[in-house]
Copies of this chain bind each other. A is one copy, B any other.
Amino acid sequence: MNCAIILAGGRGTRFWPLSRQLEPKQFLNIYSKRTMLEETINRLGSLVKRQNIYIATNKLQIKKITKCLKKLDISGRNLLLEPEVKNTFAPIAVLSWKISNEYPDAVIAVLPSDNFVKDKKKFRALLSRAIKIAGQGYLVTLGIPPDKPETGYGYIKRGKKYKDFYLAQKFIEKPGLSRARKFIKEKSYYWNNGIFIFRPAVILREIKRLLPRAYSVITRMQNKKDIERLWFKLPSVSFDYAIMERAKKRAVLPADYGWSDLGSWHALGSVMKKDRNGNIFRGNCVDLGSKNSFVWSDKRVVATLGLDNLVVVDTKDALLVCPKDRAQDVKKLVEILKRRNFKKQL
């Protein structure tokens, strides 16, 4: 029996001004007619039943997530409303504990709620294989073959080949550029895309071994009230750092299904269809001679002229203009907006 834990608590500040505190990326229909969270769930197909899908998000998102659960026919019982934002370890651990009580023999797939997958069939085939491997007691990850020395992702070094997968030899946090370049050259490294597949017993054993205090907190949680009461005792740390870097019996499956974390407007541009000048125009756009640009209009007329490699995102109350190669710094802009007290726009 397969279960899924969907992590939908992200802030998505990198898609500002479209994404906001109350409307983060996973709740937007950025590249399709469905929200990214819906896409993530639909993508599972028949691999995981709706009643076995668990979603973690934070309290700020209650309205959005309620609407979403209804649409997706997922029970409110399967929702973890994090009382406080705490990185990925806490929600994965708490929901794994919950699942272990309900379905001790399940295999759990942990999935981010805001990634792009090009080849859904391939994705399901891989996930299905990963579930089988996890059933044998492995902590399985899907390793994305890197195509550039990205410094924004963690890496997984593969070890010995074992049947149809590799043992994962090492988990590396976001490296510097020269180290990332070395990884690319060596060809035995993958990007860590934040998908983990495991049996609840396996993960709880590792939590007990690696974070015994967190384990004792988690195993005292019997209901929503307990979670509310004890949540603040859990560490705010990533699942990668807390568990994957030090766990035993880790596996990595090379995963070439066309993945993107859609981490910036630039990344979004790379998965959308371009015109013959390399532009993407969405909405009420009028252009004269631009190239390789990304122009997003909510409602108003956006007129562009001779742009090159630029991102323009126009929403009701805020506008963003920046070169594509600076799109990842939108986070910094949002910080400035915060400091300057632009509440409405955050």
Contacts and interface: CB of A to CB of B under 8 A. Distances in A.
B321 A333 contact: no
B303 A319 contact: yes
B301 A326 contact: no
A333 B303 CA distance: 7
Nearest to A326: B306
Contacts of A303: 16-17, 318-321, 333, 337
Contacts of A314: 319
Given A307-B322, A319-B319, A326-B306, A301 B333 contact: no
Given A286-B340, A288-B329, A336-B288, A301 B321 contact: no
A332 interface: yes
Contacts of A340: 286
A297 B314 CA distance: 13
A322 B336 contact: no
Residue among A297, A321, A340 with the highest chain B CB neighbour number at 10 A: A321
Contacts of A300: 316-319
Interface in A283-324: 286, 288, 297, 300-308, 310, 312, 314, 316-323
A121 B297 CA distance: 46
Given A286-B336, A310-B321, A332-B288, A345 B305 contact: no
Contacts of A312: 319, 321
A341 to B, nearest CB: 11
Contact of A345 (B301, B304, B307, B333): B301
A305 B321 CA distance: 7
Contact of A323 (B306, B318, B333): B306
Nearest to A313: B303
A17 to B, nearest CB: 7
A314 B320 CA distance: 11
A322 B304 CA distance: 6
A162 interface: no
A337 B288 contact: no
B342 A322 contact: no
Contacts of A167: none
A330 interface: yes
B304 A318 contact: no
Interface string A214-225: 000000000000
Contacts of A286: 333, 336-337, 340, 342
A323 B307 contact: yes
Interface string A93-107: 000000000000000
